[in-house]
Amino acid sequence: MCGIVGYIGKANAASVLIGGLKRLEYRGYDSAGLALLDGDVIHISKAPGKVANLNAKARAEWDAGMIERAGTGIAHTRWATHGPPTEANAHPHLDESGHIALVHNGIIENYRSIRARLESKGHHFRSETDTEVLAHLIGDCDKGDLLQAVRDALHQVEGTFGIAVISSREPGIIITARRGSPIVIGVGHGETIIASDASAILAHTQRVIYLDDNDIAVVTADAVDVRDLNNFPVTREIAELGLDTAATEKGGYEHFMLKEIHEQPESLANAIRGRLDHQLGSSVLSGMGTSPRDLAEILRVVMVGCGTSLHAAMVGEYALGDIADIPAEVRQAADFRYRNPILGNHDLVVAISQSGETADTLAAVREARQKGAFVMSLVNVVGSTIARETGRGVYLHAGPEISVASTKAFTSQVSVLLMMALKLGRGRRFSREEGLRLALEIEAIPELVRSVIKQDKLISEIAARYVDNEHAFYIGRGPMYPVALEGALKLKEISYIHAEGYHAAELKHGPIALLQKGTLVVAVACEGPAKDKTLGNVEECRARGARILGVITEGDHEAEEVMDDFIAIPRAHPLVATIPATVALQLFSYHVARLRGCEIDQPRNLAKSVTVE
C-alpha cells in the first residue's frame, strides 16, 4: 500500500498522475514512482521520499517531448511493507522482459514460494518486495493477451491486491483488479482515471465506478469493461461522488489537522442534522434499515473497530448500556474473526471505520455475516467497501479527512453512536421525556465544540509549557476513559511523545511506578459519577511530583485547585461531554506537535487507510 493512480486519455499523463499522487499524500507513504507508456517503450522513474522528489527526478531524467506526448501511465505512493523505502523497492515494478509494469496495494502472502519457482525458471529480482514477484508472475503468464495473463496470475496468488498494469505490447489499455484493497475508476470524456482513493479523481470527474472484490477491468480512454476473475461480465453502476475539490484543500490553515479540528462544529451539525425526532424524543437513523420490532429483538450489540474508531466504540459501549439498557461490548477488529466469535441472529454487529476500507474491520464484517448476525456500518466514505458490503448503516457526513490523525471522524462517530443509543433506548426503558432531554443535549454538541475551539490560543499557550516532556499519562474514568485513550493516541501519533492512556483506577496497579518529578499527567475529570475518584488519583500523582493538566467542567473550582493547568469545557451530559473533551485534547496535541516542529499531517510510519491486516 498506499496510493495508486492510473491514467489513459488525451491529456498529459505525467501531470495527471503527479497531481493525483499529491492528492493521495495524506494517506502516508515513504517513496513514490511513475511509469509512462510512450509507443512501445515503458519509462519508469522512482524515488524515496516525497512526490516532489519524484516529479523533479522524472523531469530531469526524461525527454520533455516524451513527457508531453505520453497519454498512458500508472503511478504509486508506497508505504513500506516488504523491504525498506528505497528506490529499488518503490513501485512501479517491471516483469522480467521489461514489457509489463505494475503498481500494487496489498500483500501477496505466498510471494516467497512464487519467487522461488520463478527464480528456478531464470527470473532475476531487483527488489525485496512481494509486488515485483506479482509483476514477474504476470509476465510469465503472458502469451500475448494481457487480460488473460493478469487473470492467470491472480488465480495463483494468496492475499490482497489493488493493482494497475500496463504493457508496451498492448498500449491502448490498463488492466486493474482488486481483492481487499480499494479501486475506483473515474469515467471522463475521452479519458479514464484509476485510483485507490476518489480524492485523486476529483479534479477530473465526479462519475466513478467502484470495483468489488475479485473484479478485473479492462480500461481504455473511452470504456470500462468489468469482469470477474473467471472472465464473466459483471455490471458495476456509475455513481456520483458528490465531493467538492475545495474540501481537500487547506483553506488558509497551516495544517489539514488544524483545519479539520476547526471544521468540527460544521461536521457535527452535518452528522446530527435531520436525525433527531423531538416529537418522539428519539432519533431517525433510516440507514439502519430496521423497524421498531427489529430493534426490540436485538439482545446484544457488538462494536468492532481499530485505533480511533475503537475508542469511539468504547464511548458507544457506555452509551448503549446507560441509555439503551442493552448489553454492549467492543472488540478489536483485528482479533475478532480469529477468536471464533459467538454470534447469533439477535446480535447487532456495528463496524466502525472512517475510510470504510480498514482491512481488519472488513474481515470482521464478513465473519459476522457468516455467523448470522445483523450487521451494519458506521463509516465516513460514501461508496466504501464496508458500506457496500453491509448494505445498511449510517454515514458520518464529516467530509473528507485528509490528515492521517483522525479528528472530526471520531467526534462524528461518537455523535452517531449517541443517537443510536437513543433510538435503541426509546424502544426499551427510556421515556419520551428522557429521550427529549438527551436529544436536546445532542443537538447542542456543535456549540459545545465551538466554545472549545474558541480557546485555541489558550490551549496553545498551555501546550508550550509541556512541549519538552517526553512521557505523558492520560487518565479518566467511565466514558472519559476512552477519551483519555484517544487523547494519548493523538499525542503519540503526531508529536512522537510517548503517551499512554489508562483507566485512572489502574494507575496504582503498576503504571504509577513510572511517575517521577515533572511527568505530565493529563486527567480527564469532567463532571460525572466518577469525577471525585479521578481527582483522588490526581492527588496521588501530584504527591509524586507529576505536573497535572486537567480537562474539566467550567466552574468546577474543586477540580481547578488540584491542576497545574486546565482546559474547561461547557457543562453537559457526561456522555455528550466526551466530544468537547476530545476536541480540547486534539488541540493540545496539535499545538505540542507544531511547537516541536513535527510533520503533523503525515506522521512517520503511519498511513491513513490501513488496507492490510
Coil, strand or helix: which one is 84? Answer: coil
Give the cell for residue 22. Answer: 499529491
Residue with cell 483485528: 334
598 is catalytic: no
Give the cell for residue 89. Answer: 523497492
Half-sphere exposure of 86 (CA within 13 A, CB side): 9
Beta strands per DSSP E along 191-318: 191-195, 207-210, 215-219, 224-228, 239-240, 276-277, 282-283, 300-305
Half-sphere exposure of 571 (CA within 13 A, CB side): 4
Is the bond preceding 327 in cis, omega lying within 30 degrees of 0? no
Its sign, for the CA torsion 418, 423, 427, 433, is positive
Chain centre to alpha carbon of residue 586: 17
Instruction: Dump the DSSP string for 3-26.
Output: EEEEEEESS-HHHHHHHHHHHTGG
The letter for the amino acid at 233 is P
Q: What is the DSSP letter of 517?
A: T
**Catalytic residue (one of 408, 423, 531, 608):** 608
Q: What is the DSSP letter of 159?
A: B
Cα separations in angstroms, 9 against 15, 72, 98, 223, 551:
12, 7, 23, 11, 54
**Catalytic residue (one of 2, 141, 526, 541):** 2
How long a stretch of residues is the chain? 613
Q: What is the DSSP letter of 206?
A: S
Its sign, for the CA torsion 204, 207, 212, 214, is negative
Helix axis angle, 578-595 to 480-495, nearest 10°: 20
H or E, element range at 463: helix 456-464
Q: What is the DSSP letter of 92?
A: P
Nearest to 609 by CA among 43, 136, 198, 36: 198
Is the bond preceding 603 in cis, omega lying within 30 degrees of 0? no
Half-sphere exposure of 248 (CA within 13 A, CB side): 19
Half-sphere exposure of 573 (CA within 13 A, CB side): 20
CB 581 within 8 Å of CB 596? no
CA dihedral 81, 13, 24, 80 (to 10 degrees): 10
306 is catalytic: no
Give the cell for residue 185. Answer: 475508476
Active site residues: 2, 608
